[in-house]
Amino acid sequence: MLLKKGWLLATAESCTGGLIAATCTDLAGSSGWFERGFVSYSNEAKTELLGVDAALIAQHGAVSEAVARAMTEGALRHSRAQVALAVTGVAGPGGGTPAKPVGTVWFGWATPAGLTSELRRFDGDRAAVRQATVRHSLQRLGELLA
């Protein structure tokens, strides 16, 4: 779909650590539509690589709608892409809180039609949460591009 529209994709990943970019680039011909990926695992990386305001992270936490949206916007700003997706979440097994339990993931998608964000909670161990995050991010991107 991206190739057909002549658009490029950039990814901004925290909890998936580059798995979305790897999944995209596993496909032959992905150089025609995949522009770049940012692995911004730490809060500092989110700020330095994507321009996410540190105050935004301090106020809302790294796993939040505000940060997912800022990561998405940053991926667009710091690339040549017209389309971006971002994920930030708690993959586990530790790091969860009552408000943000393990499996909590915020997503952001930007297309020329606008910016969309979504909260999902996935069950399972670290690997299952990360794989579900990859799958959902790309499925929803396909829906937004269709």
Domains defined for the chain, CATH in brackets: 2-145 (3.90.950.20)
pLDDT value for 97? 94
Query: In this structure, are residues 16 and 87 in contact, taking their beta carbons and an 8 Å threshold?
Result: yes
Q: For 15-40, what is the mean pLDDT?
A: 98
pLDDT value for 67? 98
Separation between Cα atoms, residue 65 and residue 70, nearest integer Å = 9
Say if pTM beats, i.e. exceeds, 0.95. Answer: yes
Question: Residue 141, CB half-sphere, CA atoms under 13 Å: how many?
Answer: 27
Reported as a single tens digit per residue, the pLDDT across 70-114 is 999 999 999 999 999 999 999 999 999 999 999 999 999 999 999
